[in-house]
Structures are given as structure tokens and as C-alpha cells.
Chains A and B, each alone.
Chain A
């Protein structure tokens, strides 16, 4: 294996401060981040990545806590990435998932990181995917991504998970209808949480109806509907089993490979978009020159773009 940077080495060795630091460097896109991620990327692929999504208050954080405790009891280490929305007005955020996860404190086999969506311009997508890379390279057996799943970028991020669970709750009337179409298409497992409440069976029935009407491109996996009471832990072990069954199915059916390739494609495209966004903006020297040349009719937009893109990554 080729030599890797000292920080990457410490991440791979599972050193907690290094892991925490690396997550900050990738979120803040600091100098050397691409080299760090390059080193880490080669050490990934070992983790089982789960996405947990659903409306605010449906019990995702509570469920993630229960699942994590379950995996720990089964001897597996866990990394949690908990995403909360940033305020559109101020850019600030209150990241509240961690409060629910206090029961996991004191266990070195659990690492929790909160991240804010930071606007819709792909910031989250990259930060969350890179965070998965870091935790995977650090040797976490399971990585759980919690997000409300609003917007295309978040759906794309969820698609990076091997198994996506969409959480709904009973007694919210038409709420089942409100599950975003994009989420329905990527749900591998449906969870009806708060099964201790009245109407859980009705919600399950509604979901079942809706699944019948939803065309799925993937054959061979019947999307299961699991009931949980995350608050007490009821149904959580069964849900963990279901995730493992799905994981096994991904391996045997070949669908896992399909998803991994689709994912790699998405990530390449996002990186390319980032290079373009950084290099082709007012203020970048070659860009301003090209703008002047197009305005002066000395070249045309397409030709200018070709030259700029070629020069982007020497």
C-alpha cells in the first residue's frame, strides 16, 4: 500500500481526535482535504451504511439510538451522522438529534457527529458523503445517516446508503400520502414508529396499499413494513435483522454493485461540479479574461468554456 498522510493513518487506526478532526476538515473543505479523502477512500467499503429518513418528530433519533444499542450488543461498532436543517434566514442551526442519543454516551464503539444542511447548494451532500467515507475508513462496522430527507440533494445522499428506511408514524391522517415521492422510490424498508399509539395497523395498511401502486424498478426485494416503538425498543432488533437481510440480498442479487456504481457516478459528478463552481466564477483570473473575450467577440461562450474546463484540473 502506498504511504498515506499522518492524519489519514490516525483515522484508519481509529484514533478518536483524528477522526473528529478529519470530519471537520472535510466539512470545512480545508487545505489538503482532497488528498485526505483520497487516502481514506481506498480504505473504505467495509461499512454497512444505513439511511434513516422521515418527518421531524417521527422518532428517527430515538430509533437510531435503539438501533445503535442493538448493533453494539451484537458486537458491531457504529458511526452516526445526524443531519438537521440550517435556518434559511441566518444560516445558523440548532442540531437537536444528539440530545436523544445520550444513552449511547461513554461507549468508545459509538461515534456521533451532527451536521447542518448549510443551504441547498450541495453543501450537505458532499459533507455527508465525505463523512461516510471518513467513518468507513475509521473502521466503523455500521454507519447510520439520519436526515429529514427534504430536497433532491438529501435524497441523493440517502441513495448513498445501502439500505434506506423511511419512518412514518400513526395518527397523522394523510401523512402517509405526504411521504415525498422521491423517498418512496428509494425506500428499502418502511418503518411505522410509535407503534404504541392507536392507528399503527391502519398506517401499515395504508402503506401496503401505496406500495402496491408504486412502480419499483428493483425486482426481488419486497419492501417490508416494520413496526417499532423506538421509545421502548420494541421491534428494533427485528428491524436490525431486516437491514441485515436487505444487505445480504444486495450482495446475492447484484443490486449492491449496481448501487455502488451509481453512487460512484454521482460522487464524480458532484466533484466535477465543485471544480467548475470554484474555478469558473467572477474573480477567478482566467474566467474574467474569458468573459472579456466573449464580450469583445474574440471568442464564443462554448469555446471559452472548453478552454476553461480543460485548464481546471491540470
Chain B
């Protein structure tokens, strides 16, 4: 059966930990919706376990985590540790967005983050990057 171009990509957007900055993630949710994607937002203050459970149940193509609290290193480390414990590797790509110093980018990529989209990313770039990762994951 053909995978039509119009088949919507499914994305989960998550806020993990004490980080209360949700302006950006809400902007991203609308940007992705307007780009034709289906967006499931977890709401604020979730734990890595909760987010992973939800992403697995929803079988999303992309999991986007928004972090402006400065706690991105421990949170992503924990997230990938939990992913490593899953009975099977999930399909989704993981994207990070928010405020993260350049020097952490390499470390984030090394633990498995596919893309990092910082503060001044224009909406079109956000949509393009997520779509590209989503299309690849949807084929898996």
C-alpha cells in the first residue's frame, strides 16, 4: 500500500522536569499542526518515564523535548537510559528544542538526540527538520 505524501506525521511534544517555560513548546505545537502534522502535547512537569510511556503508546514518529531549564543533560541522559531498557527500540527520532549551550550539542548528539533546535530557530526550519525526521521514522 502506498505511503501517501499527505499521511500526517505524528509528533509528541514533551516538557520534562521542573521547567515551566511553555511558550516555545506551544508555538512549536501550532507550527507543526499548521504544517499538517498531528501533535500530542504532554503538558508541563512530566517525568521521563511518563513521557516515554506515552510516546510508546502513541507510537509517534518524532518525540520532541523542550527544555529551557538548563537540566537538559541529566534529563536526556535519563531518557536514553530508559529507552535502552525498553523491550524493543522505539521508531521515533528524538529532537531537542529550547535553550542549550552550543558546547552541549555534541554531547547530546552523542547520546542519541537527532537534532537540536535552539532559541532563534525560524518556524519553517522547525517544521522542515521535524518533517524530515518524521518521514524517515514513518517508513520504519
Contacts and interface: CB of A to CB of B under 8 A. Distances in A.
B8 A93 contact: yes
Interface in B38-73: 38-43, 46, 49-50, 53-54, 56-59
B38 A106 contact: no
Interface in A27-63: 28-31, 33
A94 B36 CA distance: 10
A93 B38 contact: yes
B8 A105 contact: no
A98 interface: yes
Contacts of B54: 98, 105, 112
A114 interface: yes
Interface stretch (A13-21, A190-198, A254-262): A13-21
A96 B86 CA distance: 26
Contacts of B6: 91
Contact of B41 (A15, A21, A94, A116): A94
A98 B40 contact: yes
A20 B12 CA distance: 14
B29 A91 contact: no
Q: Is the interface of A mostly helix, strand, loop or mixed?
A: mixed
A266 interface: no
A78 to B, nearest CB: 12
A87 interface: yes
B33 A111 contact: no
A17 B37 CA distance: 22
B40 A20 contact: no
A177 interface: no
A23 B10 CA distance: 13
Given A105-B53, A106-B53, A96 B41 contact: yes
Contact of A118 (B8, B30, B90, B138): B8
B35 A95 contact: no
Contacts of A151: none
Contacts of A16: 56-57
B36 A90 contact: yes
A39 B128 CA distance: 38
Given A20-B57, A90-B33, A114-B58, 12 more contacts: A23-B59, A28-B7, A28-B138, A90-B34, A92-B35, A95-B38, A96-B41, A98-B42, A98-B54, A112-B57, A116-B8, A118-B8
